[in-house]
Amino acid sequence: MFIPCHNLFQRELELLESRNLFRRQKVIFSSNNMLVEVDGREYINFSSNNYLGLAGSDILKKAASQALERYGVGSGASRLMSGTFSIHRELEEAISKFKKEEDAIIFTSGYMANIGVIPALVGRGDAVIVDRLNHASIIDGARMSQARIFVYPHCNTIALENVLKRTACFSKRLVVTDTLFSMDGDIAPLPQILELCEKYRSILMVDEAHATGIFGRRGSGLVEEFGLSGKIDVVMGTMSKALGTFGGYVAGSRIIIEYLRQRVRTFIYTTSLPLPLAASCIKAIEYIENNGEERESFWKRIEYVRSEFLKMGYDLLNSKSQIIPVVIGPVDKAMEIERYLFEQGIFALAIRPPTVPKDSSRFRITISSSHREEDIQKLLHVFREIKRRFF
Ligand SMILES: *Cc1c(COP(=O)(O)O)cnc(C)c1O
């Protein structure tokens, strides 16, 4: 029977709608760091990864506009053609110093880094071993590599060791984990994972997307916080979160990075990062390295907010960071609460399956150092009220 494709996809859309899983974009008209305007009304944004408020900062605006004046918008070619500018190399140097690794390579996004780097490291006949809650870009990279994929339960090093024992027959194995998990806000047991990788001779790659700029004495991430700089084979991250700009990177040994330059398809076959972005990334790193005190007061804020939510009786999973998952459970209830939050002027989106497991729909509240104190108090007040009305 011939089914026109239009009908086929319309049915899929109706199905999503009927399960309350249809996603609508909230269109932001203007923004001033954590304040956003949607449909003529102002909201406090608690759904942004702009953790340090750098995205809207004068420092980055200035760096970007200077580079814009000097180079224009697009970079015009891929890195191995005429698309490598001195600013790209400067940024790669800044990242390798920041991360205390020998060298670094940048990509046009974190997603591009993960889907390019994993297939360059492993392929058919190899094994890639991932945490069940790793970011989608890691899973996609693993699939694209055509290596056999093994998934271990979230942060479970006993299960990881079992997988490593079972996969001894593979000549090459790659373990990949987020360091700070993007939906749960919890932290991978990196020292134990590294020890297992060394014991079973497996390559280790970590994704520092949400940890960079937040953790570590110099703000470079959880690898630094755990004292593991220089010990992990592949340290990946993005500049689109705390750094407030755009672009992905990998830092590591000279050899690994040179190998990636030769092999990663998402490095070779795409136009290089626009210079205004690259220039602002350099400034963002400089800012983070020089503003340790701001990070300290940010951490006090994170701990305060978390303890207030716990006092109210919310389940925050095992969150240890600026990402605070407030678990609601069923999708329908989460959607009702989402409407209430918006009525109250809080921009916080319900995170639903398939992004999170079934029946763990939640609000992924993210705290920024550029929220005003009154924004934080408003958030806590509204969630106190939610506890009374919806539970
Ligand atoms: C956001 C994110 C990415 C993708 O980074 P982009 O630069 O936004 O493409 C990769 N990994 C993790 C864990 C992320 O949270």
Verify whether residue 381 is a known catalytic residue.
Answer: no
Q: Which residue has the tokens 């047991």?
A: 189
In 10 A of CB 339, how many CB atoms?
10
Q: Which of 107, 320, 132 is nearest to 234 (CA)?
A: 107
Give the distance (Å) from ligand 1 centre to CA of residue 238.
Answer: 6
Q: Supply the pLDDT for residue 240.
A: 98
Q: Is 178 in the pocket of ligand 1 (CB under 6 A)?
A: yes
Q: Supply the pLDDT for residue 2.
A: 64
Q: Which of 390, 288, 378, 305 is nearest to 35 (CA)?
A: 378
C-alpha distance from residue 146 to each of 41, 112, 128 (Å) = 47, 17, 9
C-alpha to C-alpha distance for 180 and 186, rounded to whole angstroms: 6
CB 207 within 8 A of CB 138: yes
Q: Is 366 in the pocket of ligand 1 (CB under 6 A)?
A: no
**What atom of ligand 1 comes closest to residue 180's alpha carbon?**
13
**What atom of ligand 1 comes closest to residue 182's alpha carbon?**
15
Q: Supply the pLDDT for residue 354.
A: 86
Q: Supply the pLDDT for residue 267.
A: 98
Q: Which residue has the tokens 């951490």?
A: 299
CB 200 within 8 A of CB 168: yes
C-alpha to C-alpha distance for 285 and 249, rounded to whole angstroms: 13
Q: Supply the pLDDT for residue 33.
A: 84
Verify whether residue 241 is a known catalytic residue.
Answer: yes
Verify whether residue 182 is a known catalytic residue.
Answer: yes
Give the distance (Å) from ligand 1 centre to CA of residue 311.
Answer: 31
Q: Is 137 in the pocket of ligand 1 (CB under 6 A)?
A: yes
C-alpha to C-alpha distance for 24 and 54, rounded to whole angstroms: 27
Please list the rounded mean pLDDT of every run of 10 residues in the chain (391 residues).
77 90 88 90 97 96 98 96 98 98 98 98 98 97 98 98 97 97 97 98 98 98 98 98 98 98 98 98 97 95 98 97 97 95 96 88 96 98 97 91
Q: Is 111 in the pocket of ligand 1 (CB under 6 A)?
A: yes
